[in-house]
Amino acid sequence: MRIHRYRTPAEVPTASMADIAFLLIIFFMLTAVYSSTRGLEFAFPKDDPNQRNVQPQEAIHIKITGDAQYTVDRTPMTIQQLAGYVDQKMKQAPDKPVIIHALPDVPYYSMIDVFDVLRQLKVKNVSVPTQTEIERWKFFGYLE
């Protein structure tokens, strides 16, 4: 004779999972209230009667195209003319910025020649813009 044993089906207890889910919902609802976005805190400077008005400086734009051709402030020049022009401008304003815009197909020696001239003239404010900056300048009409 066969004895039939009653087997209990395997179940996953879900009562405790519901409690945990409920507690997590409450936790996230409470912490969402405290995570408000805050802006930067800063104070504007007070008016100063002795304040100087600084005029913005026009940068010297050096564009290097293929075959070592240089355009300085939209004027074609040789490397010797570039040195004289930059030297004259730096005597007027020693902290004048110089922006070098080299096209992608320019050989390295052309760029190095410009850097050598600027180093000899002791120019300290030199910038080489990224492609994104160049596109932005073209969009706003600062470059051709």
CATH code of the domain covering residue 132: 3.30.420.270
Query: 136 falls in which pLDDT band (50, 70, 90)?
Result: confident
Q: Once rounded to an integer, what is the mean pLDDT over residues 103-117? A: 87
- Whole-number pLDDT of residue 43: 66
Going by the DSSP 8-state scheme, the letter that residue 118 receives in this structure is H
Domain for residue 6, yes or no?
no
Domain for residue 26, yes or no?
no
Question: What's the domain range around 87?
Answer: 60-140
Domain for residue 93, yes or no?
yes
- Paired with 71 in beta bridges are 63, 76
Largest alpha-carbon pair distance within the chain? 116
Domain for residue 105, yes or no?
yes
- Whole-number pLDDT of residue 24: 93
Tokens 């996230």 correspond to 28
- Whole-number pLDDT of residue 105: 84
List, in order, residues 6 or more apart from 62 with CB less than 8 Å away.
70, 71, 72, 82, 86, 98, 99, 100, 101, 114
- Whole-number pLDDT of residue 54: 54
Q: Once rounded to an integer, what is the mean pLDDT over residues 48-72? A: 78
The number of domains in the chain is 1
- Whole-number pLDDT of residue 39: 60
Q: Once rounded to an integer, what is the mean pLDDT over residues 51-80? A: 81
Q: Once rounded to an integer, what is the mean pLDDT over residues 43-62? A: 72
Q: Once rounded to an integer, what is the mean pLDDT over residues 96-119? A: 88
Higher pLDDT, 118 or 67: 118
Tokens 């005597």 correspond to 91
Domain for residue 74, yes or no?
yes
Tokens 């089906």 correspond to 9
